[in-house]
Amino acid sequence: MKKFSDLYLKKLQIGSITTESNVFMAPMAGYTCYPFRLMCRKLGAGLAFTEMVSANGLKYNDKATAKLLYTDEAESPKAVQLLGSVPAAFEFACKGKYTSAYDIIDINMGCPVPNVIKSGEGCALTGDLLLASRIIEACKRSGKVVTVKCRPGMNQKSIVVSEFARMCEDSGADMITVHGRTRNMMYSGETIYEYIESAKKAVNIPVIANGGIYSEEDAVKMMDKTGADGIMIARCGLENPFIFSQLTGKHIDETKLSLIMWQADIAESVFDESTALAYIKKLSSYFMKGLHGTKKFKQEMYGSGNMQELRKILIRIFGEMEK
């Protein structure tokens, strides 16, 4: 089988920032918190983005929104994803205290969720290139590196990916990530490589390919078909975080048990116990996906009421699974 690390692995220049690899972890709501991002980076990811954060929420000092942005010097470079539709709110967020530690601002122009679309945010911005351009320019005024994550269009009858990519570059974006499905496809159906290839051919800035990558074979095929500069992993990163070490050829002496214990250590150090519990339970559920007899294990895990109890259960569960 073709190896990604032999064929396509490289450092990537994004504006003034150089990443150690061109394999990235996508922003995922509810998951890509500080501990998870550190894990992805340890395993070989060149970047790991925060979950999407409301630009308006930061403008109005929303405490819950601000909590999503915890980071420290152990994470570098740092990338935050912002969601919204008001250029002034983006500019305020990019220049404000909550994103001051972040090196990269990623603008969400690809989220397909109905409530986001109704607000004129996410993928809806592919239908308003002028507004999208103003948002990118507003973010660039912060002096930070700015990237954009988008879809090819709202549906197959409104494919704007080449024009949109050129607009991003002309407006100052330093990189774009293209999810190879239209908004109406949501997260299902085959990734359409031609859409990503069209974006790559339209611009000179790096183009990252996203959508439907669950194995090294998928990653190599994505690069073969699109000519992209790198790839972005999404759900697979939750189910099998070792995908990053597999793709980058990074030697890792870890098991799922050792990783989840390490995640528990970090979560307890930066979150309150209820937040740490919820996160470790969610992550452990993904780690168990595809393994035999997990229904009983998950019921027991979700019944635990504190971190000490949860740790004992996970040591036994993953110990049995990894024999």
Q: 216 — phi, psi (to 5°)?
A: -65, -35
Written as one string, the DSSP assignment of 8-28 is T---EEETTEEES-SEEEPP-
Would the pLDDT of 177 be above 70?
Answer: yes
Structure tokens at 91: 């500019």
Structure tokens at 17: 């920032």
**How sure is the predictor about 269, in pLDDT bands with cuts at 50, 70 and 90?**
very high
62-118 pLDDT tens trace: 778 878 899 999 999 999 999 999 999 999 999 999 999 999 999 999 999 999 999
**How sure is the predictor about 318, in pLDDT bands with cuts at 50, 70 and 90?**
confident
Catalytic residue among 94, 111, 139, 150: 111
40 given a catalytic annotation: no
For residue 207, give the H/E element and its range.
strand 207-210
Structure tokens at 130: 């002028």
**Cα dihedral sign for 192, 197, 202, 206?**
positive
Helix 161-171 vs helix 129-140: crossing angle, to nearest 10: 30
pLDDT at 322: 67
pLDDT at 15: 98
Q: Is residue 161 classed as helix, strand or coil in its secondary structure?
A: helix
Between the CA of residue 298 and those of 30, 287, 314, what are the distances in Å?
Answer: 19, 11, 10
Section 190-211 average pLDDT? 97
Instruction: Write down how long the chain is.
Output: 323
Identify the structural domains of the chain with CATH numbers, from first to last. 4-248 (3.20.20.70), 256-321 (no CATH)
282-308 pLDDT tens trace: 999 999 887 777 788 888 889 998 999
